[in-house]
Structure 1
Amino acid sequence: MAGDKDTTSSRRDRLDTPKDPRRHFGLRRQSSPDTFGVFAERFARFMGTARFLLYMTVFVIVWIALNLIGLFGLKWDPYPFILLNLFFSTQASYAAPLILLAQNRQEDRDRVIAEQDRQMNFRAHADMEFLAREVASLRAALGDVATRDFVRSELRSLVTELQEEVTDDPDQQPTQDHSGDPT
């Protein structure tokens, strides 16, 4: 009977849980949501390099030279170079959104870094205020405690008073109390 309950409950769980409406034919590569963003950043970073400009310049020169000279009688894109223009338009239509996506991701990172910096500055400011209060309280406490210079000056004044008493009455014997110790 216990086995019947387990199969019934597992069947019920399966019926209560909606199925995935997508059908998976073959193996699908699982990618993270940031995969396309990373691709866009790499693409935008590459387009901003001198290497990309050099490659594009060589490509355009070779394209124009081959179509003007007509090597082996092939001129697939004659003088107005409409196919080359179409190629550049297609490239620009893909490059602009990818560059914008890369810029948006960079703005998000900058925003997070700015927030972390703000929190760190707030903590540092709070720590400095705490330390300033601690230093002020230590200074106030030291004002009540006798400092080394104060103790020295008091001892010097006592020594001079004792020397004056000794020089005024050299015949005076130290008095003794009941224990026999001179005071």
Structure 2
Amino acid sequence: MAEREGGRERTPAGATASTRTRGRTRLDQPSQRRRRLPEWDPEAFGRLSERIARFLGTGRFIVWMTVAIIVWVVWNITAPEHLRFDQYPFIFLTLMLSLQASYAAPLILLAQNRQDDRDRVNLEQDRKQDERSIADTEYLTREIAALRIGLGEVATRDWIRSELQDMVKELEEHSDGRRRDGQRVVPAERSGPRDAEDR
């Protein structure tokens, strides 16, 4: 505890800043403001505004509003004098329609902003999906090109067959050429049971 000494406050040794300012407001920190406004969930309010905006954009709303205005006007013209609540210039009706319009415009704008946010997110997701598709297509194109290059160097069955036919023709021509020159082609000796008989 701080002791008073000659009109001045003496702080004991080892006291921290928090113990020194315990009962006083600190000037080095901003004061916390108390919220006096009501709190609401912005998502719930946004969903409600979208529902209202959807209803305001339907034919049902126009029909109901037209019926209400007609009933309002007919009642205030034909009803007895003491039951009329809005006389001929219909100032109260004008006030109600202005009030409805003043609330409808911001609600519609709020619904449009939420729709724009959703569209922006969808466009971003579509853009990322397109980038992935383009990358996959480029990868597959490179792989197909590599396979084509690799297949160009692989010996196919037809190529091997044609090479074997060429070698057979060369051997036949070579053996025919030796016979024409008078050389006798000696067949290779067979080994096996006949070798045993010869002995």
Say whether the fold is shared (TM-score over 0.5): yes
Q: d(CA) in 1 for partners of 2:77 and 2:187? A: 127
Report the alpha carbon displacement of residue 110 of structure 1 after superposing the two structures with TM: 0.5
> Which of 67-76 and 91-100 deviates more?
67-76
- Amino acid aligned to 1:80: P
| Matching of residue 34 in structure 1 with residue 67 in structure 2 | no
Instruction: Give me the CA root mean square deviation.
Output: 3.4
Structure 1: any 5+ residue segments left out of the alignment?
1-18
| TM, length-normalised to structure 1 | 0.72
| Matching of residue 94 in structure 1 with residue 115 in structure 2 | no
- Amino acid aligned to 2:101: A
| Matching of residue 114 in structure 1 with residue 115 in structure 2 | no
Distance 1:109 1:177, change over 3 A: farther
1:120-131 alignment runs, 5 A limit: 120-131=129-140
- Amino acid aligned to 2:139: F
Report the alpha carbon displacement of residue 43 of structure 1 after superposing the two structures with TM: 0.4
Q: d(CA) in 2 for partners of 1:174 and 1:128? A: 62
Q: d(CA) in 2 for partners of 1:177 and 1:161? A: 25
Report the alpha carbon displacement of residue 175 of structure 1 after superposing the two structures with TM: 2.7
Q: More relative contact order in 1 or in 2 (CA 8 Å, sep 6+)?
A: 1
Which runs of at least 4 in structure 1 moved beyond 3 Å after TM superposition?
19-23, 155-169, 171-174, 176-180
Q: d(CA) in 2 for partners of 1:84 and 1:167? A: 120
- Larger relative helix fraction: 1
Report the alpha carbon displacement of residue 159 of structure 1 after superposing the two structures with TM: 4.8
Structure 2: any 5+ residue segments left out of the alignment?
1-31, 194-199
| Matching of residue 175 in structure 1 with residue 165 in structure 2 | no
2:148 to 139, 142, 145: 139
- Amino acid aligned to 1:66: W
Percent of residue pairs identical? 52
> Which of 55-64 and 67-76 deviates more?
67-76
Paired residue for 1:54?
63
| TM, length-normalised to structure 2 | 0.66
- Amino acid aligned to 1:60: I
